[in-house]
Amino acid sequence: MAALPGASTLKLYYGKPMLPDVSRVLACLYEKDVKFELIDMYEGQHMPYEFLSLQAFTRAPVTVPHLTSCVAESRALCRYISAKYADRGNSYLLGRDILERASIEQWLKLEEHNFHPPSWELVFHLAFATPMVDPDPDLITRSERRLASVLDVYDQRLSENEFLAGDKFTLADLSHLPNSHYLATSRQWRHLFDVRKNMRRWWESISKRRSWTNVVEILTEVEVLKEQIAAGEENTTTLHLLPFTSHRTPPSTTGYVLPAPVTQSIEVVPYSPPQSQPESTPSPPQTTPQASVGELLHCRPPIE
């Protein structure tokens, strides 16, 4: 994934499947009411030469001054979008003063270094692994235990504040949306949220924001299209992007349509749905010593 912010319309390049880093940036764009063009590189679209000339590896973060610039890391993109378009949409994403910005950055660091690694292991197993990839039970168990320890700290924080960085929805919360979406709505791991009432309350609040429901609709369209291609049911389609609406502004009257011709030669990662499991009563969290926010910030591994 990468973005070219030099043009009047921000161009967002992505591949298939649509990974959480793309979802994170889309949510930020919708929060800020920023017009953008979503370009699927697997649909015959290619990165322009000026993009490729900036970096040897298309996923490496690159920032270049002046008009020609690109940014490839999703959290950096969200910071850029929030600062560049500070006067649009949600004005609280980066905070209202230096102290709030410091708190937001602290939770962004926690998300990147402590929440994301174990949660991504579970999300990959749940939503992106193919039948050809054998799951590693030990890795899954370790990741679940690590994530549970992190969520204990989050739950304590959310018992004191409506959102992670205070009383407003910010990038600290937004950055958690992609991985949380797959876990909190799954049969296998939603208990990680259900047994922590503050986490459940927080998730229900942030997942209902219009910016995220817009992203979920795009994800759903991509999944349906992917299944149709795999089944040989569709040869061509048009991907309709949703109007850029916000919880703070009236709905836009103009939609944005991005033609996306599809052929049978497109490489598609097979979708492997989670195994059906009987409903069970959520088990209480393990009574292990909890890490503190300070310990997480110093990247100390959770106690197992």
Specify the pTM. Answer: 0.70
Distance CA 1, CA 15 (A): 7
Question: Over the stretch 42-90, which tens digit does the pLDDT of each residue have?
Answer: 654 455 555 544 444 444 333 333 334 566 788 998 999 999 999 999 9
DSSP 187: T
Distance CA 302, CA 296 (A): 8
Least confident of 29-43, 82-96, 217-231, 290-304: 290-304
Q: For residues 95-110, give the mean pLDDT.
A: 96
Q: Which residue has the higher pLDDT, 127 or 116?
A: 116
Confidence of residue 296 (pLDDT cuts 50, 70, 90): low
Partners of residue 163 on adjacent β-strands: 166
Largest CA distance in the chain: 56
Q: For residues 149-178, give the mean pLDDT.
A: 97
Confidence of residue 293 (pLDDT cuts 50, 70, 90): low
Tell me what pLDDT residue 19 has. Answer: 83
Tell me what pLDDT residue 39 has. Answer: 77
Distance CA 193, CA 148 (A): 9
Tell me the CB-side half-sphere exposure of residue 301, using CA atoms within 13 A: 6
Six token digits for residue 83: 């600062």
Least confident of 20-34, 128-142, 168-182, 199-213: 128-142
Amino acid at 53: S
Question: Over the stretch 198-252, which tens digit does the pLDDT of each residue have?
Answer: 999 999 999 999 999 999 998 887 665 555 555 665 443 333 333 333 333 333 3
Tell me what pLDDT residue 304 has. Answer: 46
Q: Which residue has the higher pLDDT, 117 or 223?
A: 117
Q: Which backbone phi and psi does 257 adopt, to 5 degrees?
A: -115, 130
Q: For residues 152-174, give the mean pLDDT.
A: 97
Q: Which residue is it, tokens 């900036």? A: 54
Tell me what pLDDT residue 177 has. Answer: 98
Question: Over the stretch 166-197, which tens digit does the pLDDT of each residue have?
Answer: 999 999 999 999 999 999 999 999 999 999 99
